[in-house]
Amino acid sequence: MKRRPRFSTRLLVSYLVVVSVGAAVLIIVSRFVAPGEFQRRLRLSGQGRGPGGAQPNSDALEQLVADSLDVALVAGVAAAVVAAAIVAVLVSRRVVRPIDDVRLATAALARGEYDKRVPLPTDAELAALAEDVNTLAEELATTDQRRTRLMGEVAHELRSPLTTIEGTMEAILDGVREADDTTLALVAAEARRVHRLADDLTLLSQTEEGAVPLQLRAMDLAELAGDAVDRLRPQFDHKGVEVITDLGPAPAHADPDRMTQVCVNLLGNALTHTPAGGTVTVRSGSEGTVSFVEVIDTGVGIVPDQLPHIFERFYRIPDATRTAGRGIGLTIARSLARAHGGDVEASSPGSGKGATFRVTVPH
């Protein structure tokens, strides 16, 4: 691809074009307007051409004036060219330097150097551009940190069941352990853990790309929410968390499997973050043009500055009281709800005061 000339070169050329046009106008004016005006003023003074022809020395004087104008024009044009070049250099440096800073910063970002920042210039427009690049750098740095953390967590979650499977199978091969139903059930359970992790990562990728196939039909969110509660009730009972349901009619046009996944993810999130002795309430109903399911827990809550981030990819609230997770369940839930034309929203009175997650879907 042919590269265009540098900005400073184009700026200088534009200035020279302006100077050239101005010089051409001055030359035309001096050649065609100045002589007539000069003679008019001479006649007014009684020294110009009259009925009898030219007055003495008038032609010579006119030629002297014309020559003087030519010299002045040449000198003026030369001075204007020099001035235009100087101004073009100064202006281009002032404009190009911030642009070069942005170019260097974006090149650094492309190399993965997310700590690079652009100094803010004094010009408002260029300062806004620099701020946008700096914001992009911060977002890329944050996303990269979460990606790195996710890779570590995924590796850990893979390592744990694989280690169990490997150890169990080696024990069977060495004759230390019998391949009875209990042992095989343990291996199967650990294999399912790996499968669930792979499914979650695949679904996350699909939701972010908008490639999730939906089988839409008329259904009731209350029924799906009740099924999700029944599916997870043994885990709630095991942890000592009470589940309360208040399920009113919630008609919707949605994919039952995907919306069940949304409910399961929200319930799983509540279970993870609610300590023993706590309560999780599941409500459903219809308001206006949407139906909703609410999952209300009495868990550790969410501080206000963390609320905008909890649905971001790989985000986990930096709170030691929270159980570790992959940080993708809420992302998947919101993406699936939005694929239906709905949404998932979160609210919390603050740390230690529980949280409410509300999924809405159009009728």
User: Do 241 and 329 fall within a single domain?
Assistant: yes
Q: State which residues form the domain around 15.
A: 7-45+56-113
- pLDDT score of 320: 38
Q: Give Cα 222 to chain centroid, integer Å.
A: 35
- pLDDT score of 306: 87
User: Do 292 and 180 fall within a single domain?
Assistant: no
User: Do 192 and 233 fall within a single domain?
Assistant: no
- pLDDT score of 274: 94
Domain count, the chain: 3
- pLDDT score of 201: 80
Domain boundary among 209, 232, 258: 209
Q: Is residue 152 part of a domain?
A: yes
User: Do 162 and 277 fall within a single domain?
Assistant: no
Q: Is residue 109 part of a domain?
A: yes
Q: What tokens appear for 320 in the block?
A: 């030691």
CATH (domain of 334): 3.30.565.10
Q: Is residue 12 part of a domain?
A: yes
The predicted model scores a pTM of 0.58
Q: Are 316 and 304 in contact (CB under 8 A)?
A: no
User: Do 224 and 161 fall within a single domain?
Assistant: no
Q: Are 313 and 154 in contact (CB under 8 A)?
A: no
Q: Is residue 118 part of a domain?
A: no
Query: At 118, which amino acid appears?
Result: V
Long-range contacts formed by 17-23: CB under 8 A, 24+ apart: 18/84, 19/77, 19/80, 19/81, 19/84, 22/80, 23/73, 23/76, 23/77, 23/80
Q: Is residue 135 part of a domain?
A: no
- pLDDT score of 166: 92
Q: What tokens appear for 94 in the block?
A: 């002032």
User: Do 275 and 197 fall within a single domain?
Assistant: no
User: Do 225 and 353 fall within a single domain?
Assistant: yes
CATH (domain of 157): 1.10.287.130
Domain boundary among 92, 113, 134: 113
Q: Is residue 133 part of a domain?
A: no
User: Do 75 and 179 fall within a single domain?
Assistant: no
Domain boundary among 209, 231, 257: 209
Helices and strands in the chain, H and E counts: 8, 7
User: Do 226 and 324 fall within a single domain?
Assistant: yes
Q: Is residue 330 part of a domain?
A: yes
What residues in the chain have per-residue pLDDT under 50?
54, 320-324
Q: Give Cα 360 to chain centroid, integer Å.
A: 25
User: Do 162 and 285 fall within a single domain?
Assistant: no
- pLDDT score of 305: 87
- CA 119 to CA 117: how far, in whole Å? 7
User: Do 357 and 238 fall within a single domain?
Assistant: yes
Q: Is residue 130 part of a domain?
A: no
User: Do 222 and 357 fall within a single domain?
Assistant: yes
- pLDDT score of 4: 62
Q: Are 226 and 260 in contact (CB under 8 A)?
A: no
